[in-house]
Amino acid sequence: MRILVIGGTGIVGTGIVNLLKEKHEVISVGHTRGDFQVDVKDEESIKELFEKVGEIDGIISTVGDGEMAPVLELKQKDFQFALETKLYGNVNIYKAAKKYLKENSFIIFTSGIVRSVGMPNTATLAVACSSVDALVRTLALEESDLRINAVSPAYVKETMELFGLDSFNGISAHDTAKVYEYIIENEMHGEIVDVVSFLKMV
């Protein structure tokens, strides 16, 4: 399959690209690096990306970022940025990709552990990740020829190490990528797959 990984130069995205390229043609897209570059906050940039890439069998999006701070210190623009990159960006990816996706194709979005596990200083990300879950559930009802799912990663080992945190309970980007691979290989639709729960079952 020909698979586009948007956010493919980040830690989780790189893990996905490295795993999937063993079996598939994988195109890595980043903000400043990768096979192609895109600004997910810009609809025109996303449209130009798909014009360059052409037909594909599926998309994985790991995009999204947000300011980490107590709610009292956050400004409206901080929430706006998180929604622009995590929600609006993914909506625009979906809309622009429709005419380039082949029959029986898929899109896998990425939410995150803070959607369901409360953590201090993560309000912007919690709101944005929850919105991705809602988007998936809605699109699953609207789509009959396109499989829509999301993965909810846990604490990623490499990210924790990058920030100098104890990564003992972290899950590697490679193991996180296995969840995306599983969704691709199975007829799932409208699911938000929690990485921790999934790895306990396999």
> In this structure, is the dihedral angle defined by the CA atoms of residues 182, 123, 89 and 34, taken in order, positive or negative?
negative
Domain spans in the chain, listed from the N-terminal domain onward: 2-201
Position 72 scores a pLDDT of 96
Position 186 scores a pLDDT of 94
CATH of domain 2-201: 3.40.50.720
Q: 125 and 112 in contact (C-beta within 8 Å)?
A: yes
| Local structure of residue 24 (DSSP, 8 states) | S
Position 148 scores a pLDDT of 97
pTM above 0.85, yes or no: yes
- Look up residue 94 and give its amino acid: Y
Instruction: Say whether 74 sits in a helix, a strand or coil.
Output: coil
Position 21 scores a pLDDT of 97
Q: Chain-centre distance of CA 150, in angstroms?
A: 7
pLDDT tens digits, one per residue of 34-47: 999 999 999 999 99
Average pLDDT, 10 consecutive residues per value, the chain (202 residues): 97 96 97 96 96 98 93 96 95 96 95 84 93 96 94 85 79 94 94 90 75
